[in-house]
C-alpha cells in the first residue's frame, strides 16, 4: 500500500523536477478528508478545466462551487507552465471510476476500457487540473505540456512509479472526455523518457585493486641453488615463478628443496628475456633474480 507523502515532500518533488510552483493560501491543509481517507494512492490523474483565464481557474479549483466543493485537485497547471497548488489530501477531482482501471494502474499495465463507475478515485489519485477550455480548439502551449510531463514525472519519481501510473480522467470515468487535445499515450511516452533520462546510472563497481607484487627478497647467492640444496629462498623462487606464469614443470608446487622442475622453470623464464637467453642454464644468478621480481 502506498501511503501519501507529506505535503512538503510533494512540494519538493515538483520543485526538484524544475517546475515553478505557486502556493495558494493554506493549500497544505485544504482538503476533503472529512469525507473519507486519502490513500492508499496509486496514480496521477490529468484533467482539463473547461475554463479560460488562470486567475479564475485557480480560484474555481481551490473553492469549487455549490454542487462540488473545493478543492477540485491538488495542482492547477496553467498555460504558462506554472503549477498552482490549491489543496493536499482528498480532493474532488476523480469521482467514481472503473475498478478494473484502478487494478491496471496498480499493476502498471495498459488500462482497459472504462465501463463502470464503482470505485472512489478521489481516495487513490493525485489530480492535476490543466487550464484549457476542452473544446478541442483551445491550444495546449508547449510550456503547459512540458509542465504536465514534469508534474506527473515528479509524483512518479516520489512514489517509485512508472509512466503507466498516469492516466487521464477520460480513461477512468465513463462519459468523461478530459483531457481533450492531446494523447495520453503520447504524454506517457514523454513521462517515461523523462524518468529514464533522469534515472541515476547504476553504480560502477570498482575493480578490486591489484595485489601489490611481493617485495624482492635479498639474493641469497648462486650457491643456494642446485641439487641437494634446501632453503626458504628456493620456495620463494618457485612461488614467484608460478606468479609470473613459469611454473609448468611443477607437479605439486614449489617446495624448499631444489629439484629439476625448479631448474626447468628458471630456464623457461631466462629464455623469455633476451638479456638472459645466452645464460639459460636454469640457475638463478643476480640478474635473473632481479628480473624475476621486476
Q: What is the pLDDT of residue 171?
A: 97
Is 43 a domain residue? Answer: yes
Is 203 a domain residue? Answer: no
34 and 78 inside one domain = yes
Contacts within 8 Å (CB) and 24+ apart, 145-148: 145/182, 145/187, 145/190, 146/81, 147/19, 147/77, 147/81, 147/82, 147/83, 148/46, 148/77, 148/187
Supply 244's cell numbers. 609470473
Which of 166, 183, 198 terminates a domain? The answer is: 198
12 and 150 inside one domain = yes
Q: What is the pLDDT of residues 83-119, one digit of tens each?
A: 999 999 999 999 999 999 999 999 999 999 999 999 9
- Residue 83 phi, psi dihedral angles, 5° rounding: -110, 115
Beta-bridge partners for 47: 129
Q: What is the pLDDT of residue 203?
A: 59
147 and 235 inside one domain = no
Is 141 a domain residue? Answer: yes
120 and 256 inside one domain = no
Q: What's the CATH code of the domain at 240?
A: 1.10.101
Buried b (16+ CB within 10 A) or exposed e, 103-131: ebbbeeeebeebeebebbbbbbbbbbbbb
Supply 223's cell numbers. 650457491
Which residue positions in the chain have pLDDT lower than 70?
A: 1, 198-207, 213
Is 82 a domain residue? Answer: yes
- Residue 98 phi, psi dihedral angles, 5° rounding: -90, 125
Q: What is the pLDDT of residue 199?
A: 57
150 and 53 inside one domain = yes
Which of 198, 232, 249 terminates a domain? The answer is: 198
Is 111 a domain residue? Answer: yes
Nearest partner of 184 among 199, 165, 197, judged by Cα: 165
Q: Which residue range forms the structural domain that includes residue 106?
A: 7-198
Beta-bridge partners for 190: none
146 and 228 inside one domain = no
166 and 231 inside one domain = no
Is 18 a domain residue? Answer: yes
Is 206 a domain residue? Answer: no
Q: What is the pLDDT of residue 107?
A: 96
35 and 71 inside one domain = yes
By residue count, the chain amounts to 294
Q: What's the CATH code of the domain at 91?
A: 3.40.80.10
Which of 165, 198, 231 terminates a domain? The answer is: 198
Kindly report whether the global pTM for this prediction surpasses the value 0.75: no
Q: How many structural domains are present in the chain?
A: 2
Is 208 a domain residue? Answer: no
Q: What is the pLDDT of residue 111?
A: 94
Amino acid at each position: 500500500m502506498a501511503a501519501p507523502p507529506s505535503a512538503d515532500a510533494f512540494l519538493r518533488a515538483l520543485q526538484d523536477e524544475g517546475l515553478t510552483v505557486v502556493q495558494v493560501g493554506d493549500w497544505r491543509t485544504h482538503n476533503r478528508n472529512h469525507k473519507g481517507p486519502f490513500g492508499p494512492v496509486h496514480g496521477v490523474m490529468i484533467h482539463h478545466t473547461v475554463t479560460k483565464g488562470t486567475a479564475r481557474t485557480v480560484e474555481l479549483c481551490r473553492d469549487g462551487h455549490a454542487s462540488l466543493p473545493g478543492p477540485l485537485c491538488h495542482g492547477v497547471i496553467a498555460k504558462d507552465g506554472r503549477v498552482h497548488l490549491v489543496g493536499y489530501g482528498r480532493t474532488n477531482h476523480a469521482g467514481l471510476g472503473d475498478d478494473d482501471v484502478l487494478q491496471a494502474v496498480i499493476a502498471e499495465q495498459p488500462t482497459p476500457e472504462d465501463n463502470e463507475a464503482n470505485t472512489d478515485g478521489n481516495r487513490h489519485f493525485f489530480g492535476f487540473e490543466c487550464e484549457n477550455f476542452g473544446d478541442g480548439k483551445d491550444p495546449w502551449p508547449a510550456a503547459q505540456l512540458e509542465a504536465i510531463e514534469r508534474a506527473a514525472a515528479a509524483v512518479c519519481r516520489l512514489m517509485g512509479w512508472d509512466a503507466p501510473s498516469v492516466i487521464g480522467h477520460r480513461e477512468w470515468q465513463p462519459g468523461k472526455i478530459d483531457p481533450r487535445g492531446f494523447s495520453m499515450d503520447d504524454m506517457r511516452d514523454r513521462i517515461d523518457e523523462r524518468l529514464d533520462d533522469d534515472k541515476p546510472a547504476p553504480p560502477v563497481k570498482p575493480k578490486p585493486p591489484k595485489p601489490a607484487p611481493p617485495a624482492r627478497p635479498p639474493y641469497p647467492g648462486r650457491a643456494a641453488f642446485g641439487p641437494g640444496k634446501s632453503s626458504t629462498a628456493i620456495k620463494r623462487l618457485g612461488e614467484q615463478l608460478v606468479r609470473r606464469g613459469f611454473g609448468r614443470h611443477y607437479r605439486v608446487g614449489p617446495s624448499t628443496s631444489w629439484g629439476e622442475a625448479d631448474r626447468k622453470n628458471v630456464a623457461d623464464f631466462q629464455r623469455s628475456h633476451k638479456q638472459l637467453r645466452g645464460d639459460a642454464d636454469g640457475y638463478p644468478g643476480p640478474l635473473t633474480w632481479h628480473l624475476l621480481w621486476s
